[in-house]
Structure 1
Amino acid sequence: MKTEFTEAQLADPDIRESNKILRTCVHCGFCTATCPTFVLLGDELDSPRGRIYLIKDMLESGRAASKEEVVHVDRCLSCLSCMTTCPSGVHYMHLVDHARHHIEETYRRPLMERLIRATLAVVLPRPALFRAALAGARLAQPVKALLTGRSTTVKRLRAMLDLAPSVVPPPGPSATAMVHRAEGVRRGRVALLTGCAQTVLAPSINEATIRLLTRMGIEVVVTAGQGCCGALTHHMGRQDSSHALARRNIDAWVREAEGEGLDAIVINASGCGTTVKDYGHMFREAEPGLRDRAARVAELAKDVSEVLAMFDYQPAREPPGIAVAYHAACSLQHGQQITGVPKSLLENAGFEVRVPAEAHLCCGSAGTYNILQPEIAGKLRDRKLGFLHRTGADIVASGNIGCLTQLGGGGLPVAHTVELLDWMAGGPAPAAVMAARARQETLAAE
């Protein structure tokens, strides 16, 4: 793609990077076939190729973002399926992130939209605030029936209440900074990103991760000072906020790596993993010390499935007679290009793994997308659930808390992959397994 940025514009490192990405695009349109919003809406401007044209025009002109550009960029899920499909290697992720930052800096959204986005950016990365907000959402459930209007604000408020769980589990041991010692001879030492929303919605995922790794002889450190990876605010264009959160994690993990050492930084929420693995790019223009530390953290970052494969995970139980529909989170299969490892681990553990049709398409979660774009997210959720049900599986497994939250309540029990692997290696049965067993018994009785 031909670009016409001025020399003055190219002095900006973000413009320079976007120019390089834009010039890689050859307009082939392969990306349209695998873009969830284009598949649903059929609008060229809601495809990666269409958005690339809009972003190019917006950045080249140097003007503030227009409403049209905001609408179509906002509809992008950042699922990155287009990057898997693209034969030219267009790094769409960095381009759309730049566009979102430009929009945040130059476009004034309507008041209620600004308030909702600001609330999400403040509350979700802070577990204590998020827990309090969910308590408030439970109290507000009777009000949901009154939210009957068709305005965007009403739809977003309903989406918030719909996604709020009826019961919020208490914090687990992983919420406290501490060292979890390896059982037997220590084979490795890792830091665990406990995250933000996941620690509130499903602390069982972190607990299963710690149990499984320590049982395998791996010491797990929950470092003081770590927190939200920055992904939630980064994808809202709030660069200062996301970078501040990332810097805190970088400092915490580098201190640990330079102390007793780390073999990996384990991440069991794939949306976070894609962001942490991109820390090197995020801080590419920082002062040399920070730039080098960020690159080191990005290199150490591993999805939990990668670490389990690295240390040769083996089950301890007999095959359970449970069929698992594996939902590949976009951030894992497209963002990190990890596709076969989680399925191989589940098969090795004794599960029958089934892959649904359209496995490459997003479920509609995408961080805050299912709140900010509830209609599109709802259609994608229903489409995904339809294919998952058609597999005839007993459980849906995935590696991302956003997907599990989005797909939960859809008629099939959901579990994180690591929870199932922990169970098969001697840990307690996850709630999804108990639900699947009860469902099997009911179906057998019928």
Structure 2
Amino acid sequence: MQTNLADWIKDSPQGLEADAILRKCVHCGFCLATCPTYGLLGDELDSPRGRIYLMKQMLEGAAVTETTQIHLDRCLTCRACETTCPSGVQYGRLVDIGRELVEEKVPRGLFTRAKRWVLRHALLSPTLFGAALGMGRAFRGLLPESIARTVPALREAGERPAVRHARRMLVLEGCVQPAIAPSINAATARVLDRLGISLLATPAAACCGAVSHHLNAQDEALGYVRANIDAWWPQVEAGAEAIVITASGCGTMVAEYGHLLRNDPAYATKAARISALAKDVSEIVAAERAALAKLLAGKPAQAKLAFHSPCSLQHGLRITGVVESILRDAGFTLTAVPDGHLCCGSAGTYSILQPELSQQLLANKVTALESGAPEMIATANIGCLSHIASGSQRPVRHWIEILDDQLRR
């Protein structure tokens, strides 16, 4: 794609990066077939190619209107287009740049700004979010059905093993996951303990920064990024092997730390190291396949499962087939999931900010997941887990919890 960026942007770090990404696009349109919003709306401006044209026009100096903002807001940032693209266009990074610039040029109304501010601060505060969730659980019976089904039941964490192995890894606790499902990281600690790895919590490392980043509060997001690096760094220097992440949405963000702070002289080297050390829990478990096989020997065959591979896992981290293989080795039968590449509609705060589109995607996803009559649905991201559970009658769990249960049988 030919570009002629405006003087105000072309020589800036954002402009140089955007220009390089734009020039890779060859207008082929392969991305249209895998874009969830284009599939629902049929409007090319709600496809990656259409949004790329809108961002290109803005970067070349054209007037920016609310229409551009609407179409960029509707993007899930699922990055299915990146998996499909034959030219390697880094659409996710481009849309982050585009959204930040549009935010500066098209002021939002007071109510919308307030809503996005509340989302950032309520979701990212374990105290506030935990209190709100506790209230929701306490009065669930009094809530309208549409709201009650979005309030997850309490999931007890269970015991975490003491730190006792020479091999040690860190874990990102996260912001909403400890309140919704503390059982996930506890199960991870138990599974890794059986594999000879101790999991260390670092309380000072909380939110990965993704929510703020995708709501165009980039400076705020970088504050979380730097705080996490500071929290992890002493343990990294002390020999921690990896940073284990059990929410693939967070994993995608941490994988970008090196890129996000590449121009920060104080953090660039550390950030690159943190990104290299960050691993989805499936990568850690898969690397211990031989030891896991011994632990699973003689365990009884288990239920039929449908596995929802989060967009952040398959498109963001490019991890495909790993979780499925682990679950099959553990004795589970996995049902086929049609259109498994499509988003469930959770996408961070998307289900709150774009409820109509999100609910359509959720209905389609639940239909696909339940089409093989599974007894349970497994996934790898807390946002997907909560969202799918709100639309399905079947139990929805993180796959590491399911593996932990099988190992304890």
TM-score (norm 1): 0.86
Once the two structures are superposed, residues 307-344 of structure 1 have per-residue CA deviations (whole angstroms, 9 ceiling, x without a partner) of 00112233435233311111110000000110011011
Gap runs ≥5 in structure 1: 146-157, 428-446
1:286 matched to 2:285? The reply is no
Partner SS, residue 82 of structure 1: helix
Does the 8 A contact of 1:333 with 1:339 survive in 2? yes
Residue 367 (structure 1) shift: 0.4
Report the Cα distance in structure 1 between the residues aligned to 2:35 and 2:88, rounded to whole angstroms. Answer: 16
Report the Cα distance in structure 1 between the residues aligned to 2:368 and 2:308, rounded to whole angstroms. Answer: 10
Change in 2 beyond 3 A, CA 1:252/1:118: same
Residue 346 (structure 1) shift: 0.3
Residue 172 (structure 1) shift: 6.9
2:362 aligned residue: 381
Change in 2 beyond 3 A, CA 1:204/1:419: same
Partner SS, residue 73 of structure 1: helix
Does the 8 A contact of 1:180 with 1:210 survive in 2? no
Partner SS, residue 61 of structure 1: coil
Report the Cα distance in structure 2 between the residues aligned to 1:353 and 1:79, rounded to whole angstroms. Answer: 23
1:99 aligned residue: 98
Once the two structures are superposed, residues 193-236 of structure 1 have per-residue CA deviations (whole angstroms, 9 ceiling, x without a partner) of 11011111111101100111112110111114111000111111
2:201 aligned residue: 222
Partner SS, residue 267 of structure 2: helix
Does the 8 A contact of 2:78 with 2:347 survive in 1? yes
Residue 352 (structure 1) shift: 0.6
Partner SS, residue 15 of structure 2: helix
1:240 aligned residue: 219
1:444 aligned residue: none
How do 1:307-326 residues align onto structure 2 when only pairs under 5 Å count? 307-312=284-289, 313-314=292-293, 315-316=295-296, 318-326=299-307
1:368 aligned residue: 349
2:278 aligned residue: 301
Does the 8 A contact of 2:6 with 2:59 survive in 1? no
Partner SS, residue 45 of structure 1: helix
Residue 181 (structure 1) shift: 1.4
1:56 aligned residue: 56
Greater CA drift, 262-271 or 309-318? 309-318
Residue 285 (structure 1) shift: 1.0
Once the two structures are superposed, residues 78-128 of structure 1 have per-residue CA deviations (whole angstroms, 9 ceiling, x without a partner) of 100000000000000100111122233332212221111110011111111
Report the Cα distance in structure 1 between the residues aligned to 2:157 and 2:102, rounded to whole angstroms. Answer: 37
How do 1:341-356 residues align onto structure 2 when only pairs under 5 Å count? 341-356=322-337
2:133 aligned residue: 134
The one-letter code sitting in structure 2 at the alignment partner of 1:206 is: N
1:270 matched to 2:248? The reply is yes
The one-letter code sitting in structure 2 at the alignment partner of 1:234 is: H
Does the 8 A contact of 1:190 with 1:263 survive in 2? yes
Change in 2 beyond 3 A, CA 1:55/1:162: farther
Partner SS, residue 119 of structure 2: helix
Report the Cα distance in structure 2 between the residues aligned to 1:167 and 1:22, rounded to whole angstroms. Answer: 45
1:165 aligned residue: 151
TM-score (norm 2): 0.93
Report the Cα distance in structure 1 between the residues aligned to 2:181 and 2:318, rounded to whole angstroms. Answer: 25
Once the two structures are superposed, residues 230-288 of structure 1 have per-residue CA deviations (whole angstroms, 9 ceiling, x without a partner) of 011111111011110011111111111112x111100000000000011011111111x
Report the Cα distance in structure 2 between the residues aligned to 1:224 and 1:128, rounded to whole angstroms. Answer: 13
Percent identity reads 45
Change in 2 beyond 3 A, CA 1:356/1:170: closer
1:415 matched to 2:397? The reply is yes
Partner SS, residue 219 of structure 1: strand
Residue correspondences, number: 404
1:397 aligned residue: 378
The one-letter code sitting in structure 1 at the alignment partner of 2:47 is: S
Change in 2 beyond 3 A, CA 1:411/1:31: same
Does the 8 A contact of 1:171 with 1:200 survive in 2? no
1:204 aligned residue: 183
Residue 138 (structure 1) shift: 5.3
How do 1:249-264 residues align onto structure 2 when only pairs under 5 Å count? 249-259=228-238, 261-264=239-242
Report the Cα distance in structure 1 between the residues aligned to 2:159 and 2:207, rounded to whole angstroms. Answer: 17
Partner SS, residue 76 of structure 2: coil
Change in 2 beyond 3 A, CA 1:72/1:135: same
Partner SS, residue 423 of structure 1: helix
Once the two structures are superposed, residues 330-370 of structure 1 have per-residue CA deviations (whole angstroms, 9 ceiling, x without a partner) of 00000011001101100111101123000000000000000
Residue 137 (structure 1) shift: 4.3
Report the Cα distance in structure 2 between the residues aligned to 1:166 and 1:343, rounded to whole angstroms. Answer: 25
Report the Cα distance in structure 1 between the residues aligned to 2:32 and 2:76, rounded to whole angstroms. Answer: 14
The one-letter code sitting in structure 1 at the alignment partner of 2:398 is: H
Gap runs ≥5 in structure 2: none
1:231 aligned residue: 210
Partner SS, residue 130 of structure 2: helix
Change in 2 beyond 3 A, CA 1:107/1:384: same
Does the 8 A contact of 1:97 with 1:235 survive in 2? yes
What is the root-mean-square deviation in Å for CA atoms of aligned residues? Answer: 2.1
The one-letter code sitting in structure 2 at the alignment partner of 1:96 is: V
1:337 aligned residue: 318
Residue 60 (structure 1) shift: 2.2
Instruction: Point out 4+ residue stretches in structure 1 off by more than 2 angstroms.
Output: 6-11, 103-107, 133-145, 161-164, 166-174, 311-317
The one-letter code sitting in structure 2 at the alignment partner of 1:266 is: V
Report the Cα distance in structure 2 between the residues aligned to 1:28 and 1:412, rounded to whole angstroms. Answer: 40
The one-letter code sitting in structure 2 at the alignment partner of 1:270 is: S
1:153 aligned residue: none
